[in-house]
Amino acid sequence: MKVKPLGEFDIYINDGNYGNIYPEKELFTNEGIPFISASDFNGRTFNYEGIKFISEELHFNILKKGHLKVNDIVIVVRGNGIGKVGFFEDEIGECNMNAQLAFIRTNPNQLNPLYLYYLMSSQNYLELIQRFGTGSAQPQLPINRLKMVPIIEKDIQTQFQIAKILSDLDAKIELNNKINAELEAMAKLIYDYWFVQFDFPISAEQAASMGKPKLEGKPYKSSGGKMVWNDELKREVPEGWEVGILDKIADLIRGVSYGKDDIKSKDESNTIPILRATNISGNKIDLNQMVYVPTEFISENQILNKFDVLITMSSGSIDHIGKNGFYYFDEKVAFGAFCAKLVSKKDFRYYLYSYAQSDFMFQTIKNECLGTNINNLNGGIVKSFKIVIPSQKLIRLFNQRVDSLFQKISNNTNENQKLAELRDWLLPMLMNGQVKVDKLSDHDETLNMAAEEREKYR
């Protein structure tokens, strides 16, 4: 296996702007040129929700470094997380980046940019790159040291084939993510329509009590359904609905406490994986980079079950407090003390999750954390959040409407986890030649062949 330093390839490396020209807080805007930070990307996915923007004047005339182009590899070179890489492939026009980042621009005829991205994104390479860093209080990866990182040499055709195989897996994951986003949007639309706007379908009993049997199935509030004022919520709610607290429909259970010295190897016996707040991204939970602790640390109620809601209770940033997701997996895992799980009572699991994802829930959480120095949610406060509680009959009807949506999301999420594990297993095997690209090069059979190869090496 031949290697040579990154700097000996035909590449261009540049970092972001810093010093006295770095934009002050008041120069950031809500539109203009995207200004990327390390928290705005995860692999090949760049998240533009909540991103900062700068003016064209600032971008073109003052911040003349850090201008990203399509197919650049973005890498964290300052602060926590040095060595983390992303692949910028979004056709969004001009884009800039902060001082924490650098980009690598390759000559694609010599070094395929996707090949380099996948190589540098592997866990082995992350650890290797971090060894080239300097500093402890403020880790840094100077460009001259980044250029010293050894790169595995392959001929350009092999680079292309490796990149394509891994990219095919990522493309399938991304397709599933898009499908899941559409399914989530459909479920949210039903929840909002029924339980926020109160235009749930009128039942036969309600239509009869209104003296208008022909209203059965029509939207309740829009069709003149009786609403009553509630002082606690400061709004009208449908007649007959209960106004209670979250504790009425869910139990809240805090996660397990452990220390750095308690963490064990994945291969040790009598251990269990722990999910942390970093495993929740947006409304998605993944099983990546879990830590393992002795099973004796875990009580039975700290095990996650399918369709439990995992929520972040403590974080260094108020923006992460309250982020939550459905646990869609069958794997037996627990969760850390910075998180809690919400377990629905009776038939409320889809209603509970939809409420946990609602703007009302997130605004309530921000109000609780506002003005505090510690970004921490108190379990007792969460359990006392005000909530409208519909009839069991309507909840069961809601479950019938959305169950197939959430089951499809679950299937796609589990498939994505397996595809990601397969990709991460294949990556070093392809790079070191243990799996040959010619055996996996057929586009239509890539996933099946790769899976068969993985089983062979287990």
End-to-end CA distance of the chain: 23
Q: Is the pLDDT of residue 397 over 80?
A: yes
Q: pLDDT at position 442, please?
A: 55
- The DSSP string of 311-374 is EE-B-SSGGGTT-EEE----S--EEBTTEEEEEE-TT-HHHHHHHHTSHHHHHHHHHHHTT-SS
pLDDT greater than 90 at residue 152: yes
- Tell me the pLDDT tens digit for each residue of 270-286: 999 999 998 998 899 99
How much is the pLDDT for 458? 45
Residue in 351, 435, 420, 396 with CA at minimum distance from that of residue 158: 435
- Give the predicted TM-score (pTM) of the model: 0.85
- Tens of pLDDT, residue by residue over 195-222, are 999 999 999 999 998 899 999 999 999 9
CA dihedral defined by 20, 23, 25, 26, rounded to 10 degrees? 110
Q: Which residue in the block uniquely carries the two structure tokens 């504790």?
A: 247
- The predicted model gives 280-307 an average pLDDT of 93
Rg (CA), the chain: 25
Determine the pLDDT at residue 441: 55
Report the C-alpha gap between 417 and 291 in whole angstroms. Answer: 17
Q: Helices 392-431 and 113-121 meet at what angle, rounded to 10? A: 110
CA–CA separation, 420 vs 414, rounded Å?
10
Give CATH 3.90.220.20 domain extents, the chain. Answer: 3-152, 247-389
Beta bridge partners of 341: 253, 310
CA–CA separation, 348 vs 427, rounded Å?
42
Is beta strand 334-335 parallel, antiparallel or unpaired with respect to 11-15? unpaired
DSSP 24: P
Mean pLDDT of the region 25-33: 89
Q: How confident is the model at residue 314 (pLDDT cuts 50, 70, 90)?
A: confident
CATH 3.90.220.20 holds for 247-389: yes
**Which of 38-52, 130-144, 293-307, 355-369 shows the lowest mean pLDDT across its residues?**
38-52
Rounded Cα–Cα distance for residues 117 and 69 (Å): 15
Neighbours of 311 (CB within 10 A): 23
Which of 235, 229, 233 has the alpha carbon at shortest distance from 244? 233
Q: Cα(209)–Cα(203) distance, rounded to whole angstroms? A: 10
Distances (CA, A) of 114 to 167, 245, 446: 8, 50, 17
Residue tagged 């959430």 (tokens)? 406
Give the mean model confidence (pLDDT) for residues 100-122: 95
- Lowest pLDDT segment from 131-140, 151-160, 211-220, 386-395: 131-140
Per-residue pLDDT at 433 = 86
Which pLDDT does position 439 carry in this prediction? 66
Of 206, 188, 194, 191, nearest to 237 by C-alpha is 194
| CA separation, residue 46 to residues 30, 37, 51 (Å) | 17, 10, 10
Q: How many other CB atoms sit within 10 Å of the CB of residue 190?
A: 16
Average pLDDT of the segment spanning 284-293:
92
Q: Which CATH code for domain 3-152?
A: 3.90.220.20
Highest mean pLDDT among 9-23, 48-62, 180-194, 370-384: 180-194
Both tokens assigned to 149: 């990182």
Which secondary structure element, helix H or strand E, spans residue 252, and what is its range? strand 250-254
pLDDT tens per residue across span 344-364: 998 999 999 999 999 889 888
Using CA atoms, how far apart are residues 143 and 15, in angstroms rounded to an integer?
Answer: 8
Distance from C-alpha of 218 to C-alpha of 215, rounded to nearest angstrom: 5
| Confidence at residue 368, expressed as pLDDT on a 0 to 100 scale | 74
3-class DSSP state for residue 131? coil
List, in order, residues 6 or more apart from 310 with CB less than 8 Å away.
Answer: 275, 279, 280, 285, 304, 324, 325, 327, 335, 339, 340, 341
What's the chain's average pLDDT? 90
Percent of the chain with pLDDT strictly greater than 90: 70
Report residue 440's pLDDT band, with 50, 70 and 90 as the boundaries: low
Residue 18 pLDDT: 81
> Could you give the percent of the chain with pLDDT greater than 70?
94
Residue 157: pLDDT band by 50, 70, 90 thresholds?
very high
Angle among Cα 125, 129, 135 to the nearest 5 degrees reads 150
Whether the per-residue pLDDT at 51 is higher than 70: the answer is yes
Residue 374 pLDDT:
56
